[in-house]
């Protein structure tokens, strides 16, 4: 079992790591406990809230509601979105319930070195998500092949551009390798939890993730647009196609399995926060 992201001092208002609330995994008769994952350090409520606010910034503005499902029913992706939005603040989303504990993205001070670490670790995470869909250990993972949202190819090109500018490309670090290991484990042992991470990683990147990329580019890259933030085709339609597939997959789940998927949201924010933290250190 992959260890949870390491905790940071509460004095760091930009801390992106916090202990996650964890529940037992369920898939049919299989029950996998993940509650024993160790968490090092001590984090205050304020620090944990700060992390969630910063990660929420990567998911806020454009995680549009899913299209309506059958009459009288609520599409499951809309439930997933609703839970994610509650981890935002009111200034990020009207559904937000968290108090702001950190400065807005416009006041962040990124570094090229930190941004490179973020890109390298992000590449590993996206590669892992794409690889999991290929052998399809769980049959319905095959639904998420070649969605058009894949990012690993784009993330092969961007570090090379930095290399040409004279920067050294780092190897993947603990936040990326730890998250990749967790995704592999969940994909085999806890499919509902895995789908929660899949949804939040991809949809957050297409939403607030693009906003963060734009702000970072303005500050340190002379407004260069990286391939990481470009998609072929109509992005809105690509997202809707994936929403439809997620809703179709979840239609066969029990209410307990759906709730378990939703309960994984805060942990997905925590692990994504470990990657975002690179930009500022």
Band of the pLDDT at 124, cuts 50, 70, 90? very high
For the chain, the structural domain boundaries read 76-279
Average pLDDT over residues 236-252: 97
Average pLDDT, integer, range 36-53: 43
Burial of 141 (0-12, 13-18, 19+ CB in 10 A): buried
Ramachandran class of 53: left when φ > 0, alpha when ψ lies in -120 to 50, beta otherwise? alpha
Q: Average pLDDT in the 74-94 region?
A: 83
Residue 63 confidence (pLDDT) = 52
Q: Which residues contact 160 (CB under 8 A, 6 or more apart)?
A: none
Higher pLDDT, 35 or 180: 180
User: What digits encode the pLDDT tens for the residues 196-230?
Assistant: 999 999 999 999 899 999 999 999 999 999 999 99
Q: Which of 158, 148, 143, 141 is nearest to 225 (CA)?
A: 158
Q: Any idea which of 28-37, 82-91, 124-133 has the lowest mean pLDDT?
A: 28-37
CATH superfamily of 76-279: Heme oxygenase-like (1.20.910.10)
pLDDT band at 69 (very low <50, low <70, confident <90, very high): very low
pLDDT in tens, 130-149: 999 998 789 999 999 999 99
């Amino acid at each position: 079992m992959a260890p949870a992201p390491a905790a940071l001092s509460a004095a760091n208002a930009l801390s992106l790591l916090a202990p996650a609330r964890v529940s037992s995994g369920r898939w049919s008769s299989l029950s996998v406990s993940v509650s024993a994952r160790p968490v090092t350090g001590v984090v205050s409520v304020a620090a944990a809230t700060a992390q969630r606010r910063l990660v929420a910034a990567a998911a806020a503005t454009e995680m549009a509601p899913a299209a309506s499902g059958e009459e009288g029913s609520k599409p499951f992706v809309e439930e997933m979105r609703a839970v994610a939005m509650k981890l935002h603040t009111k200034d990020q989303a009207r559904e937000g319930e968290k108090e702001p504990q950190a400065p807005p993205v416009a006041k962040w001070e990124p570094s090229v070195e930190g941004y490179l670490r973020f890109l390298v670790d992000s590449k590993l995470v996206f590669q892992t998500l794409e690889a999991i869909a290929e052998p399809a250990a769980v049959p319905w993972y095959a639904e998420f092949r070649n969605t058009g949202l894949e990012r690993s190819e784009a993330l092969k090109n961007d570090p090379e551009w930095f290399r040409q500018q004279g920067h050294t490309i780092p190897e993947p670090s603990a936040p990326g390798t730890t998250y990749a290991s967790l995704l592999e484990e969940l994909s085999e042992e806890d499919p509902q939890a895995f789908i929660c991470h899949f949804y939040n990683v991809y949809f957050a990147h297409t939403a607030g993730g693009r906003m963060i990329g734009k702000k970072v580019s303005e500050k340190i890259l002379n407004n260069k647009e990286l391939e990481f933030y470009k998609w072929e085709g109509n992005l809105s339609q690509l997202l809707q196609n994936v929403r439809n597939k997620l809703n179709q997959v979840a239609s066969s789940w029990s209410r307990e399995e759906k709730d378990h998927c939703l309960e994984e949201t805060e942990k997905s924010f925590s692990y994504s926060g470990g990657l975002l933290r690179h930009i500022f250190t």
